[in-house]
Amino acid sequence: MSSILVTGGTGTLGRPTVARLQGHRVRVLSRKSGADHVVGDLTTGQGLALDGFDIVVHLATSQGKRDVEQARKLLAAAAGVQHLIVMSIAGIDRIPLPYYRYKLEAERLVAASGVPYTILRATQFHNLVDMVLSAQRFLPAVFAPAVPLQPIAVEEVADRLAELVEQPPLNGRATDIGGPERRSVVDLAHMWKQARAIRRPVVPLRLPGRTFRAFAAGDATVDGPEYGKLTFTDYLR
Rounded CA-CA distance 17/157 in Å is 8
In the DSSP assignment, the letter for residue 117 is E
CA count, 13 A, side-chain hemisphere, 218: 6
pLDDT at 33: 82
Task: Indicate the residue type of 170.
Answer: L
Q: Report residues of the chain scoring pLDDT below 70.
A: none
pLDDT confidence of residue 131:
97
DSSP assignment letter at 9: T
- Select from 1.10.1740.10, 3.40.50.720, 3.10.180.10, 3.40.50.2000 the CATH code of 3-236: 3.40.50.720
Amino acid 116: pLDDT? 98
Q: What is the pLDDT of residue 35?
A: 81
Say what the pLDDT of residue 31 is: 87
- Provide the 10 A C-beta neighbour count for residue 173: 15
3-state SS class at 163: helix
Q: Are 221 and 183 in contact (CB under 8 A)?
A: no
41 DSSP assignment: -
Distance CA 143, CA 79 (A): 47
Start-to-end CA distance of the chain, whole Å, equals 36
Q: What is the pLDDT of residue 2?
A: 87
- Closest listed residue to residue 78, CA positions, set 62, 61, 47, 56: 56
What are the residue ranges spanned by the domains of the chain? Answer: 3-236
The span from the CA of 29 to the CA of 152, in Å, is 25
